[in-house]
Amino acid sequence: MTDMSFPADLRHAAERAKGFMPGNEGLALFQTACVYGPLGPICEIGTYCGKSAIYLGAAARETGTVLFTVDHHRGSEEIQPGWAHHDPSLMDPRFGKMDSLPFFRTAIASAGLEDQVIAIVGSSETVARYWHTPLAMLFIDGGHSEDPVTKDYEGWAHHVIPGGALVFHDVYPDPKTGGQAPYRVFQRALATGQYKETRTEGSLRVLERIATP
């Protein structure tokens, strides 16, 4: 049976990496990926600097699979200059744009997960048009406004195999606690009748795709 405890050698790497994944939610993400990883590859939409990829990559290592993580690395809307979550250290002055890719590479190399974590650099919408690999688990954590969350769901969710998992981050039922787009798309997925909710941890929501007889 797969060990569901987060490896001690990766805890420090996860804590050091830039990102917005609380420890309890990261642990839940790791444990969820350990459950579904034996069924096939894992895919993450929204890499940023690699914090969540460390949790998912650790599970990929435990279960003998891989993590594909998709991001253009120019930053989602909410981390651009002038927004609350902007980090000026991620600005590339040569182009006047965000660039989280070097930080991601450092985080994954420091964690020793380069064999398990495969970066796909490009927009989620573009990559999705050419994607054909069935997924055991899909983690949606890219842009958090209506358009990108909807496109991530519509472009990728149909690749989740029956019995696999569709996972959303930053789901806030109460608008006073966070943005509503991930919550609305999460509700949309539930309403299809193709998924059942299996776990909640903070703003993390895990849906399992129902296996048809």
The CATH number of residue 153's host domain is 3.40.50.150
Residue 78 lies in a domain: no
Angle, to 10 degrees, between the axis of helix 51-63 and the axis of helix 8-16?
160
Is residue 2 domain-resident? no
Does residue 94 sit within a domain? Answer: no
Domain count, the chain: 1
Which pLDDT score is estimated for 91? Answer: 84
Q: For residues 71 and 19, is the Cβ–Cβ distance under 8 A?
A: no
Whether 87 is in a domain gets the answer no
Mind listing the pLDDT tens digit for each residue in 13-62? 998 898 889 999 999 999 999 999 999 999 999 999 999 999 999 999 99
3-state secondary structure of 206: strand
144 counts as catalytic? yes
Domain hosting residue 183, numbered range? 8-73+99-209
Say what the pLDDT of residue 59 is.
97
Span 169-213, pLDDT tens digits = 999 999 888 779 999 999 999 999 999 999 999 999 999 999 875
The pTM (predicted TM-score) of the whole model is 0.93
Residue 138 pLDDT: 98
Q: Which tokens sit at 211?
A: 């296996």
Considering the domain boundaries, does residue 79 fall inside one? no
Asked whether residue 14 is assigned to any structural domain, the reply reads: yes
Q: How far is CA 147 from CA 124, 125, 155, 175, in A?
A: 12, 11, 12, 18
User: What per-residue confidence (pLDDT) applies to 1?
Assistant: 42
The residue assigned the tokens 């941890």 is 201
Candidates 137, 140, 119, 124; CA nearest to 60 is: 137
Q: Grade residue 3 by pLDDT with cuts at 50, 70 and 90.
A: low
In a domain, 3, yes or no: no
Give the integer Cα–Cα distance in Å for 70 and 142: 9
Residue 148 lies in a domain: yes
Task: Determine the length of the chain.
Answer: 213
Q: Which of 12, 72, 73, 144 is catalytic?
A: 144
The better pLDDT of the pair 118, 86 is held by 118
